[in-house]
Chains A and B, each alone.
Chain A
């Protein structure tokens, strides 16, 4: 559907030059909910603007369904954007905003009216169609922005952190709403966010970006469970990083214990770093048995649904373990200062590329 080929984008010149994108290549499939995830300044919004045509790439090209659109101005690309600040036209009503794109495409009046009604229904804004955009709430503005961008039925919908201005409850609702709209319309969504939870909940695939590069592309499960790099693992969820020695598909932790591990391409044998998620670790009081590591409990933090333990391993490394709380689990959690036995769930160890 959309192919980004070796896109580089540099702003400014000389000493003040800033490279927002570095040789980024990615293919986004039709009907996909694709998310660009990364911290602010990682280049995700720049990539979106390149696809929309608001900026030309410094190097590289953008293809849509196999044809080059790098030179097309935004009004000739079958791509629409939901802006972060919504960018609703303040001098037009809700309905006029939604009709704008259709008018510009020169659609007949009757068809425009029909589509606008459809869109209003789709985003549940029928009652407010004659309101000025300044007279409706942030969440409603958000839905109007969505309807306006969907009305011309673009091949691709670009969403630039559209939920960031909403409060938590509304954001959760809109996440589900967006997912529903995407499957109902069958339009390819490219969604930009810095919120890892949002990305994992909504996406078919996620691209994790940092410092102008795409580090990893994969399903939410891949990204979370099989991160290829330390940055990805760190950015998404809580992580433990341990030193280990790899031989083939097996790693031996410096702290002891051998595990079968997932290994990304291009990692040499020998010393490696491995990731273990805190919730994949079990802890019990007492001395370790075979296959368990010995540790000392340093702190115990209760946080409602779970309890997090900080454990000091024999190597001096600190391991975080997160254990779900159950009504009777209190006795099972060792106290601070106690010795503990640590077991790691099978398949929980992932080798990182670093």
Chain B
């Protein structure tokens, strides 16, 4: 049965779809707009302004003069002798870069040593207990970083619990100076960033198909061989993710080195702050910030590359 049609609708091919898509796209952009505006105003946008500032001349009392200059960028690596203007390597900066890099690597290594077994332990618990252990690791992750750093500070101070106990037992006669050393920074960062290693490794172990491990054992592999040859390759994406998650914030750490490293043992983040405080060299600070950001971006791109290749392989 077909009713008499008063008018035959004619649409161009794709017309209705184009209308629907256009409306959909518009709605999606409109919905995203508030978040995008806020982030552009108070995160992404200022980074672009900083690029401009890195090419300006420092003002006499902080801030900048609007004159083009490459001094900010040059100053990141070399310094000018005050008297004869000769250029030489900025040893102070280089040693700070080196400290940042080495401490970040050490932190990553230490969190691996402690984090992987912890993640393994949690993931192999019975399901009922697993959630509890996971919760225990997650709570410090979300609790205040400054408070956790203060906890470490109080522990390793000259008058702190560790020194006190060691003195009481008689192992030492003088308190060990742990505060304001590279050790303090590394120790503190390992402590505060450890959950960042445990969580992704846990996720990887949790997904691990233990029949594969059983197959390895069945094929005469011992526990360590099975771990090295079967388990480790399978949980590698989680380990890489955890390493990046620890390495990146370590490289840009500010609070922990400031509290535990004091005024002498600076890291990259503290060097940047210095240029906006006592150093009064905003262009240099801007250039250093961009360098740090570039280093972080390289790590993240490396991470994305590796994980996407892992996924393609798997």
Contacts and interface: CB of A to CB of B under 8 A. Distances in A.
Q: Do A and B come from one complex?
A: yes
Interface residues of B, number: 17
A66 B13 contact: no
A65 B1 CA distance: 10
A71 to B, nearest CB: 7
Contacts of B9: 5, 61, 63, 68, 70
B95 to A, nearest CB: 54
A59 interface: yes
Nearest to B18: A56
Nearest to A9: B17
B27 to A, nearest CB: 13
Nearest to A30: B1
A58 interface: yes
B42 interface: no
B11 A61 contact: yes
Contacts of A101: none
Interface string A42-66: 0000000000000011111101011
B48 to A, nearest CB: 34
A58 B14 contact: yes
Q: Assign chain A's interface to a size class.
A: 20 to 34
A1 B7 CA distance: 15
A58 B13 contact: yes
A27 interface: yes
A29 B13 contact: no
A1 B19 contact: no
Contact of B1 (A29, A70, A71): A29
Contact of B16 (A1, A29, A63, A71): A71
B197 to A, nearest CB: 37
A66 B11 contact: no
A140 interface: no
A1 B14 CA distance: 25
A70 B11 contact: yes
Contacts of A29: 1
Contacts of B311: none
A70 B20 CA distance: 11
A3 B13 contact: no
A66 B7 CA distance: 8
A66 B20 contact: no
A70 B5 contact: no
B4 interface: yes
A8 B11 CA distance: 12
B3 interface: yes
Given A56-B20, A66-B6, A68-B7, A1 B13 contact: no
Nearest to B21: A56
B5 A3 contact: yes
A63 B11 contact: no
B25 interface: no
Nearest to B6: A66
Interface in A1-39: 1, 3, 5, 8, 27, 29-30
A59 B5 contact: no
Contact of B5 (A1, A30, A58, A63): A63
Contacts of A1: 1, 3
Contacts of B86: none
A70 B10 CA distance: 10
A56 B19 contact: yes
Interface string B71-93: 00000000000000000000000
B82 to A, nearest CB: 64
B2 A59 contact: no
Contacts of B19: 56, 71
B16 A66 contact: no
A30 B5 CA distance: 15
A22 to B, nearest CB: 13
Nearest to A61: B9
A66 B1 CA distance: 11
A67 B2 CA distance: 12
B14 A27 contact: no
A3 B9 CA distance: 12
Contacts of B20: 56
Interface of B: 1-11, 13-14, 16-17, 19-20
Given A66-B3, A66-B6, 14 more contacts: A1-B1, A1-B3, A3-B2, A56-B20, A57-B16, A58-B14, A60-B11, A63-B9, A66-B5, A68-B7, A68-B9, A70-B9, A70-B11, A70-B16
30 contacts: A1-B1, A1-B3, A3-B3, A5-B9, A27-B2, A29-B1, A30-B1, A56-B16, A56-B17, A56-B19, A56-B20, A57-B11, A58-B14, A58-B16, A59-B13, A59-B14, A61-B8, A61-B9, A61-B10, A61-B11, A63-B5, A65-B3, A66-B3, A66-B5, A67-B6, A68-B7, A70-B9, A70-B16, A71-B16, A71-B19
Closest 4 CB pairs of A and B: A56-B16, A29-B1, A66-B3, A68-B9
